[in-house]
Amino acid sequence: FTGSAFGSAAIWQYESLKSRVQTYFEEARADWMDKMRPQKRGDLRKQVNSWWNNLTEGQRTVTGIIAANVFVFCLWRLPGMRRIMFTYFTSNPSSRALCSPMLLSTFSHFSLFHMAANMYVLWSFSSSIVSLLGCEQFIAVYLSAGVISTFVSYVAKMATGRFEPSLGA
């Protein structure tokens, strides 16, 4: 999984750089069109765009991860989703599904405090680590760390004989 994550991140990084170079040259040719386009309306849209544009690249990257964690947290609150959540969003070495929960449990938090603390810490160091690695490699590290920590949890559960489900990275 880790090899695939970093390989995909390298391809994504290459394609992103290629796209930025192409966009740069296209924008240089199309600057004169900006004066002819109608301006978009809406104060809320302007505020959201202003907020988004003021974020660092790391904070923008982590915003997607936080959104995924909040979405999964909300799914835990839906009674009809409980069975699916326990099957695929908790890790347990005695479960039928072993591989997908290794990744999906990374986004799973049952306690609001647990999720808020983890997301705050992630947000706090996101700018520096993304500027060092790039957003693609950071996402590969995040996903790989989640899978590896779940694997270590599987090994610890097998060694101790305790097979209760767990969630989170």
Along the 169 residues of the chain, how does pLDDT read in single tens digits?
888 888 888 888 888 888 888 887 776 665 555 555 555 566 787 888 888 888 888 889 999 999 999 999 999 999 999 888 888 888 887 777 778 888 888 898 888 998 999 999 999 998 899 889 888 999 999 999 989 988 888 888 888 888 887 776 5
Cβ neighbours, 10 Å, residue 67: 11
Phi, psi dihedral angles at 163 (to 5 degrees): -115, 30
Q: How far apart are the first and last CA of the chain?
A: 15
CB 95 within 8 A of CB 101: yes
- Find all residues with CB under 8 Å of 86, minimum gap 6, and list them: 165
CA-wise closest residue to 65 among 2, 5, 129, 139: 139
